[in-house]
Chains A and B, each alone.
Chain A
Amino acid sequence: MADRPDSAAGQGSNKPSLSLHVPEPHYRPGDAVDFSHVDAGEAGREPRPDEACDPAEMRDLAYGLIRVLGDDDRAHGAWDPKLDADTLRTMLKNMAVTRAFDERMFRGQRQGKTSFYMKCTGEEATSISASMALASDDMVFPSYRQQGILLSRGYPMIEMINQIYSNRGDKLKGRQLPIMYSSREHSFFTISGNLATQTPQAVGWAMASAIKGDSRIAATWVGEGSTAEGDFHAACTFAAVYNAPVILNVVNNQWAISSFSGFAGGERTTFAARGLGHGIAALRVDGNDALACYAAERWAANRARANAGPTLIEFFTYRAEGHSTSDDPSGYRSAQEREEWPLGDPVMRLKRHLIALGEWDEERQETMDREAAEMVRATTKEAEANGILGHGLHHPFRTMFEDVFEELPWHLREQAEQAVKEREIKFPEGVPK
């Protein structure tokens, strides 16, 4: 039993009893959902300060919501990035391809072709639109749900599938959990599985770029749940102290597996407000509004490139699907949430905007979706020729011991020899094909 001073024993004490607050989400399975407490605000409402603005002069932007696309499907206000129709169509296509890719890979996991997958459904704009606002050689330190960045940067889809299948074509030699991609060529950092570690690393990269007088900036993505990690606090501190040319993107999709954003402090204030305490410029953005995502990221990139400092962007969005193939969201949240989410779906909103501009139509959308699905299917088939997980077509056995160090030390050499011997004992007739 816990120690307790007599004065707190209740009887005769005039001090109130303390009580512990344990956050609880608004809705659990079966609950009717009402999002009327979510203040989305009007599109075009927020002012757009100069990129060199003092963070103290733009505090309200950490508590408001930058929105460009209105209910009328038109772009509004100072944050309208005024993108040409070709760029908008490219953005829409990147989203369509990402969504088709997610569908196929999720199904592939269910069919036993790999162990794990994570979709980004509903959050496509936070990676695709945001990364399109960066230069292609700006360095990105993603979390695990930014496959849209790689697809936007032209990374070959077959490489992604090879990685997901851990097959003999996997550039990462089957060492990483599916979706933990890496591509130095595409300025895409190797994804960790430990949360938020990439955030202060991005700041370090940006510091290095500044030390060298480079012009490239860094951007990183982290979930709202992971902002609770000390790494996030370290990142904010270092970014502020060294005025690092970095963008800290917080994707607030409301859910960290089964824990709602309240467990990261979301009941008390916004995630954008985390920046203000550090003196970092902070923007809170409608993460389902592709134009707002692009505009905010571009603002932050301009700011970083001009040596005006880091920016923390909160993308307010909703994780429409489960965390991964390993959880069933119907077990912890109301199924109504997705349909009731007041900020809609990013792909549909961008599509309707292009249609409103007279630059798109449903027929072209259908064709694009169909072609995306066909392309994904064909690429998947191509990748499957390299093997799927657990069917023997993986990288050569010896590669298991490579890359622990630059050179193989004696103890790993001995262990590699042991492993070869184990295989010979296990498969006396030779390893089955």
Chain B
Amino acid sequence: MSAPEAQAETQTAPGGDAEGSTERRLNMIEAINEALDVTMARDPDIVIMGEDVGYFGGVFRCTAGLQEKYGRTRVFDTPISECGIIAAAVGMGAYGLRPVPEIQFADYIYPGLDQLISEAARLRYRSAAEYIAPITVRTPFGGGIFGGQTHSQSPEAIFAHVSGLKTVIPSTPYDAKGLLIAAIEDNDPVIFFEPKRIYNGPFNGYYDKPAQPWKKHAASIVPEGHYTIPLGKARIVTEGEALTVLAYGTMVHVAEEVCRQKGVDAEILDLRTLVPLDIEAIEASVRKTGRCMIVHEATRTAGFGAELSALVTERCFYHLEAPVLRVTGFDTPYPHSLEWAYFPGPVRIGEAIDKILSE
């Protein structure tokens, strides 16, 4: 890797107070677009493909302008076939390219599962490293945009369960750029989930209040050029003594707002990557606070929260002063009209905080 390159370790996000700053500010879409641009300029083997990603620039605009800049053989539309998209990426990876396919919504990824689980994730192992799948599958996930059951799902646990896949979820523009560059440069297959509810602003859970743009948030200051955030390093969002909150994606911001409002001295960890997981940061925090709450938007049963809860219980049991709690979506499909009843919002999180602190 070449300089200049920032390596963000386990620490708070750069920036400081956003007001009055003259630094460049990006929303998450722009940060992702810039990560793709920076890596494509550096590495001619990177290609982008997916439904509507070419001329149109993607339904969420993450690939806007890239086809014009890099040409139609490096950024192109695909047939509506997630199986074909992932499979072609695996074949391209075997050739020596570094494909970055986009699956338009995480809910659409299932036709490509066999190619991800049995192929991309297994190539290195089954061929004793003769063939690898250095591909990064980008896909928007999560609800809160009235997407109904087929545009709102959070299927991260399915992928975290598969040996050989890395699972990455950013929660800020700064992280999105650094993590995506790291994912693309990684030689293992990465599923990069983009929390689409916070593409344009750090949603705090209060859907009935005006949306906030990213430009008021410290982590919207995104350096130009190349930098990476190592996969497997959590970010301490707020330091605290009373309670550890493990979250990722949209829920980082919701948890932060609830803790702020309740005046809870919480230590919030943004996990950033589920596999590999920053177990050291989790253990250090829970041993300090003695309480652990896990927040994710995905359905509860066999969700990633179950894995986190088991790890914390196994490794920090004698430091715990209360049972580990999970705050999650319900075990239903994501309902259209009642999506805010499904969403693990401020009330559900607040109740859980009260409970865990009262134990």
A interface residues with partner B (beta carbon < 8 Å) = 139, 141, 171-173, 175-176, 180, 182-184, 189-190, 192, 194, 197, 199-212, 218, 230-231, 233-235, 237-238, 241, 403-406, 409-411
Q: Name B59-115 residues within 8 Å CB distance of A.
A: 73-74, 78-79, 81, 83-84, 87-92, 94-97, 111, 114-115
Closest residue to A241 on the B side, CB-wise?
B79
Indicate if the CB atoms of B84 and A237 lie closer than 8 Å: yes
Indicate if the CB atoms of B131 and A190 lie closer than 8 Å: yes
Indicate if the CB atoms of A189 and B276 lie closer than 8 Å: no
User: B129 on the interface (CB 8 Å rule)?
Assistant: yes
Q: Which residues of B contact A234 (CB under 8 A)?
A: 79, 81, 83-84, 87
Q: A182-B127, A192-B119, A406-B124 are in contact. Are A203 and B88 (CB under 8 A)?
A: yes
B38 CB to closest chain A CB (Å) equals 20
Indicate if the CB atoms of A197 and B87 lie closer than 8 Å: yes
Indicate if the CB atoms of B81 and A205 lie closer than 8 Å: no
User: B47 on the interface (CB 8 Å rule)?
Assistant: yes
Q: A200-B87, A409-B276, A411-B276 are in contact. Are A404 and B94 (CB under 8 A)?
A: no
Indicate if the CB atoms of B91 and A205 lie closer than 8 Å: yes
User: B126 on the interface (CB 8 Å rule)?
Assistant: yes
A171 CB to closest chain B CB (Å) equals 6
How many contacting A-B pairs (Cβ < 8 A)? Answer: 145
Q: Which residues of A contact B95 (CB under 8 A)?
A: 139, 204-205, 208-209, 212
Q: Name B168-209 residues within 8 Å CB distance of A.
A: 186-188
Partner of B91, one of A192, A201, A241, A410: A201
Q: A205-B94, A205-B95 are in contact. Are A211 and B81 (CB under 8 A)?
A: no
Indicate if the CB atoms of B96 and A208 lie closer than 8 Å: yes
Indicate if the CB atoms of A211 and B73 lie closer than 8 Å: yes
A-B pairs with beta carbons under 8 Å apart, 21 shown: A171-B128, A175-B126, A183-B130, A197-B115, A200-B87, A200-B88, A201-B87, A203-B87, A204-B88, A204-B91, A204-B92, A204-B95, A208-B92, A208-B96, A209-B95, A211-B73, A231-B115, A241-B79, A404-B124, A404-B125, A409-B275
B103 CB to closest chain A CB (Å) equals 14
A271 CB to closest chain B CB (Å) equals 19
User: B11 on the interface (CB 8 Å rule)?
Assistant: no
Partner of B118, one of A171, A194, A405: A194
Indicate if the CB atoms of B74 and A211 lie closer than 8 Å: yes
User: B166 on the interface (CB 8 Å rule)?
Assistant: yes
User: B279 on the interface (CB 8 Å rule)?
Assistant: yes
B26 CB to closest chain A CB (Å) equals 29
Q: Which residues of A contact B88 (CB under 8 A)?
A: 200-201, 203-204, 207, 238
User: Most chain-B CB neighbours within 10 Å: which of A182, A235, A238?
Assistant: A238
A311 to B5, CA, bound (A): 47
Indicate if the CB atoms of B81 and A238 lie closer than 8 Å: yes
A212 to B95, CA, bound (A): 10
A81 to B132, CA, bound (A): 37
Q: A200-B88, A206-B91, A410-B276 are in contact. List 6 more A-B contacts (CB 8 A).
A: A190-B131, A197-B119, A205-B92, A237-B81, A405-B276, A411-B277
A180 to B126, CA, bound (A): 9
Indicate if the CB atoms of B164 and A404 lie closer than 8 Å: yes
Closest 6 CB pairs of A and B: A204-B91, A204-B88, A234-B84, A200-B87, A208-B95, A190-B127
User: B303 on the interface (CB 8 Å rule)?
Assistant: no
Closest residue to A408 on the B side, CB-wise?
B276
User: Most chain-A CB neighbours within 10 Å: which of B88, B131, B164, B279?
Assistant: B88
